A and B are shown apart, each in its own frame.
Chain A
């Protein structure tokens, strides 16, 4: 099914679910194959639509978490307790199902190699998804753009892509990953244990004089606090891009 109509407008298309991968107790990655996928830029998202037998429809947006890779895209879904769509995607959807989606959309919040760096990536919870696409794209192209990720999660068990990030950082001296765990920490944890604040940003981020390209994604409150703190610290607002996920973070 083509992704664009004759008029050029984006239209709904059917993706094949290849597999589902548990990331954390609350999140799952959907690996999809989209026939005719024309590619995407790291940071873009898709709209997903579910249709019930009686015609009832529900729709949500999910960031593409994977780097461009032919017809394959990955979405990471956080199960919201009272959600209408996320429990279906996280618990019911399985390999060989089909999923209706539209995209990629959202060219504003994207990064590709040609945009340069250094990169400052700040994520809260499921806000890591579009930033992970950027990190994976960077790794896939062998780029050495200096990159610092500051990632806020509730606990060690709930860090999405925890092991994948550790592997990437272990072999790439130009990629620095810093976690903060806001609700509970494993014994022996000597890292940050609070919400991202000015002092943490000063310690973790490259200084304003480095002119980083900054991407902030996560719950609205985190994004607003981080963005305004960065501006107050002297970072150029024109080089800060934000993607608010709403109160629930995704």
Chain B
């Protein structure tokens, strides 16, 4: 940034010191739900949708839509934080916990790679998606999840920046080796903890 120019009287967004314990550094709260996509919205019909667990496991799994909806589900309310600096408090979701989906599988794999319709991918340490920390969400705010927001089902992992909550998820790959996903390959942080402001590689 180097030339030192400052725009007279430009303040940018206001700070929120009163939200310090709840708003991660550099974020601002919004009542909206902005949509950011890396590509066109996929429209997989429910009768062609499935969710699979593959990779480093001797028990690959697959659920069709009705089978997925028959799994134990949870309603949960969380704050979400986007790397583009907006945060949204108290978002209400319904989904199936990753603990349910991965239950009983041997846990020798270290990483989870999420694969999505449209080709989007993201990578996570396996320990970050288990222990009640992640879901496959199919409803938001009491309604079926809209396609623009990742419906019919998206990964939801609120303790990391929201690009890790991959929309249109179709396959959960258990892997021994980490493999950077779509944005991670382009310089976004490999882990993405909003409280440590891990937006970009090197942060």
Contacts and interface: CB of A to CB of B under 8 A. Distances in A.
Contacts of B13: 56, 84
A165 interface: no
Interface stretch (A46-54, A152-160, A192-200, A202-210): A46-54
B46 interface: no
B1 A98 contact: no
Contacts, number: 38
Contacts of A100: 5, 7
B48 interface: no
A12 interface: yes
Contacts of A54: 12
A216 interface: no
Interface SS, A side:
mixed
B5 A88 contact: no
B6 A53 contact: yes
Contacts of B5: 14, 51, 98, 100
Contacts of A53: 6
B10 A92 contact: yes
Contacts of A5: none
Contacts of A58: 12
A12 B3 CA distance: 9
B1 A50 contact: no
B6 A52 contact: yes
A121 B8 CA distance: 37
Nearest to A96: B8
The 10 closest A-B pairs by CB, nearest first: A56-B12, A52-B12, A50-B7, A50-B10, A52-B10, A51-B6, A51-B7, A92-B9, A88-B10, A97-B8
Interface of B: 1, 3, 5-13
